């Protein structure tokens, strides 16, 4: 995981909008969130998390076959954030694309990578959830700007003979609620009265109908986890940890009630990071691992919900594939060298392209000069 250093507390927010630490804490459980600095972006946070994930997996970037970045705040519409990260990593054998499923994006992306591996088309995938939500917030809207934060988390998935891994997934969508939680782009302003319009919400900014999304979230979490458990053939009693999307502590408590389990079964760090959309599940997973709450053989459930509307639940049996592999000599140092070479390669490729573009532009000018010289010669004669 990678989060920006700058912390924005509830007290800091009191100076920006009419709110209070007391309201935010009791209504959401959030105390503080991280804000991307001027030189930080979705790609830079995603890249940091990706490098750490490769380090943990003890793999080299050239061993990755596919990179998926789940994000609602991509660097561009295209090129994808995934392609930018692929280039910086030097993952020269990987395909790369962004996936748009809002706060459910990470679970969707893990399922896409899992199915590609199971089908045999690829052997490994890097799945990243990365967001700079604070760049799309309306800082005058106190009902949304207090909720979100920036960050990224990443995992590496790999084909393995060890039993376990992703056991089941349930992916769902209800587009009729699209305008309840949205970030319209420039073009959608023209669609105000069309079937696909977003009710004229301003482009480039996030809009949310909080209470409707709250009701939707509390309904789908329990429902989809139960469906994923059924598919995996296990019971809720077998699950040792649920890692939900971190939107609101009250949503997590309501989900615990609907599943008739203790709230402690749910991992929660919303207090420190707020809602980081597609990044929240991998960030929470990383912290759960750091807190020793995840052990090989454990059954885990992930559940995401948000814009689309979309929701997704997944059951995983945690396996550590590294144990089955031989030790790799000087792997961290070799990874550092490969990152340096990747940046060198990217710069050389860029310089070569600029040079060839320049010579292409100069050549016709030289042709014009020659034609002019011929004309002058003719006049002389």
Q: How many CB atoms lie within 10 A of CB 324?
A: 10
**Of all helices (H) and strands (E), which one includes residue 280?**
helix 280-290
Q: How far is the CB of 130 from ligand UT7 (least distance, A)?
A: 15
226 sits near ligand UT7 (criterion: CB under 6 A): no
Output the residue with the shortest Cβ distance to ligand UT7.
210
Given 10, 87, 269, 275, which residue is catalytic? Answer: 275
User: Is the Cβ–Cβ distance between 334 and 90 less than 8 Å?
Assistant: no
Pick out residues in 180-219 that bind ligand UT7 (CB under 6 A). 181, 210-211, 213-214, 217
Q: How far is the CB of 74 from ligand UT7 (least distance, A)?
A: 17
Task: Report the C-alpha gap between 158 and 167 in whole angstroms.
Answer: 14
Nearer to ligand UT7 by C-beta: 91 or 309?
309
Given 103, 145, 182, 286, which residue is catalytic? Answer: 103
Nearer to ligand UT7 by C-beta: 61 or 308?
308
27 sits near ligand UT7 (criterion: CB under 6 A): yes
Catalytic-residue membership of 275: yes
Q: What is the DSSP letter of 201?
A: P
318 sits near ligand UT7 (criterion: CB under 6 A): no
Nearer to ligand UT7 by C-beta: 24 or 89?
24
User: Is the Cβ–Cβ distance between 113 and 65 less than 8 Å?
Assistant: no
Q: How far is the CB of 217 from ligand UT7 (least distance, A)?
A: 4
**Of all helices (H) and strands (E), which one includes residue 66?**
strand 66-70
247 sits near ligand UT7 (criterion: CB under 6 A): yes
Size of the site for ligand UT7 (CB under 6 A): 21
Q: Please pick, from the candidates 64, 67, 103, 286, the single residue that binds ligand UT7 as defined by CB under 6 A.
A: 103
Task: Report the C-alpha gap between 314 and 172 in whole angstroms.
Answer: 12
Task: Report the C-alpha gap between 274 and 246 in whole angstroms.
Answer: 7
Q: What x-and-dash track marks residues 107-146 binding ligand UT7 by CB under 6 A? A: -----------------------------------xx--x
Taking CB atoms within 8 Å and a gap of at least 24, the contacts of 200-207 are 202/138, 204/136, 205/136, 205/137, 205/138, 206/133, 206/136, 206/137, 206/138, 206/144, 206/148, 206/181, 206/182, 207/138, 207/144, 207/179, 207/181, 207/182, 207/183
Q: Tell me how many degrees the CA angle 297-299-301 measures, rounded to the nearest 5.
A: 150
Q: For residue 336, what are its two tokens?
A: 């550092």
Q: How far is the CB of 30 from ligand UT7 (least distance, A)?
A: 9
309 sits near ligand UT7 (criterion: CB under 6 A): no
Beta strands in 74-228 (DSSP E): 95-99, 124-132, 150-158, 165-173, 181-182, 207-208
Given 145, 182, 245, 286, which residue is catalytic? Answer: 245
Stretch that binds ligand UT7, among 20-28, 121-129, 163-171, 364-372 (CB under 6 A): 20-28
Q: What x-and-dash track marks residues 148-167 binding ligand UT7 by CB under 6 A? A: --------------------
Nearer to ligand UT7 by C-beta: 23 or 318?
23
The Cα-based distances of 177 to 100, 289, 307, 318 in angstroms read 16, 34, 8, 34
Catalytic-residue membership of 245: yes
Q: How far is the CB of 277 from ligand UT7 (least distance, A)?
A: 6
Nearer to ligand UT7 by C-beta: 88 or 144?
144
Q: Residue 1 in 3-state DSSP? A: coil
User: Is the Cβ–Cβ distance between 170 and 301 less than 8 Å?
Assistant: no
Radius of gyration of the chain (CA): 24
Catalytic-residue membership of 103: yes
Active site residues per annotation: 103, 245, 275
Contacts with ligand UT7, residue ranges (CB under 6 A)? 19, 23-24, 27-28, 103, 142-143, 146, 181, 210-211, 213-214, 217, 247-248, 251, 275, 277, 306
């Amino acid at each position: 995981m990678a989060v920006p250093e700058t912390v924005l507390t509830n007290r800091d927010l009191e100076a920006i909008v009419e709110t209070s630490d007391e309201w935010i804490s009791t209504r959401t459980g959030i105390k503080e969130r991280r804000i991307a600095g001027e030189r930080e972006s979705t790609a830079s946070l995603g890249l940091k998390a990706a490098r750490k994930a490769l380090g943990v997996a003890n793999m080299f970037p050239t061993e990755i076959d596919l990179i998926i970045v789940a994000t609602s705040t991509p660097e561009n519409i295209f090129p994808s954030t995934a392609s930018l990260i692929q280039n910086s990593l030097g993952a020269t054998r990987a395909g790369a694309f962004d996936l748009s499923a809002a706060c459910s994006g990470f679970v969707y992306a893990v399922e896409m990578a899992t199915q590609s591996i199971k089908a045999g088309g690829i052997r490994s995938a890097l799945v990243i959830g990365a967001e700079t939500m604070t760049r799309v917030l309306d800082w005058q809207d106190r009902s949304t700007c207090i909720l979100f934060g920036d960050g990224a988390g990443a995992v590496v998935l790999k084909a393995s003979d060890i039993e376990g891994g992703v056991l089941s997934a349930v992916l769902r969508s209800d587009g009729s609620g699209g305008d309840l939680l949205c970030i319209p782009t420039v073009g959608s302003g023209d669609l105000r009265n069309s079937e696909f319009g977003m009710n004229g919400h301003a482009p480039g900014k996030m809009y949310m109908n909080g209470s409707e999304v709250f009701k939707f979230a509390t309904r789908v979490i329990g429902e989809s986890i139960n469906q994923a458990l059924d598919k995996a053939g296990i019971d809720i009693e077998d699950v040792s940890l649920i890692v939900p999307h971190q939107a609101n502590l009250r949503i997590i408590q309501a989900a615990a009630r609907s599943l008739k389990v203790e709230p402690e079964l749910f991992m929660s760090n919303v207090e420190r990071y707020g809602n980081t959309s597609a990044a929240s599940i991998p960030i929470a997973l990383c912290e759960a691992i750091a807190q020793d709450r995840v052990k090989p053989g454990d059954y885990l459930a992930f559940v995401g919900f948000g814009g689309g509307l979309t929701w997704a639940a997944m059951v995983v049996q945690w396996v550590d594939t590294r144990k089955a592999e031989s030790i790799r000599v000087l792997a961290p140092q070799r990874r550092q060298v490969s990152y340096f070479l990747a940046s060198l390669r990217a710069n050389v490729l860029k310089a070569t392209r600029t040079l060839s573009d320049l010579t292409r532009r100069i050549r016709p000018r030289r042709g014009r000069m020659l034609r002019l010289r011929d004309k002058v010669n003719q006049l002389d004669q």
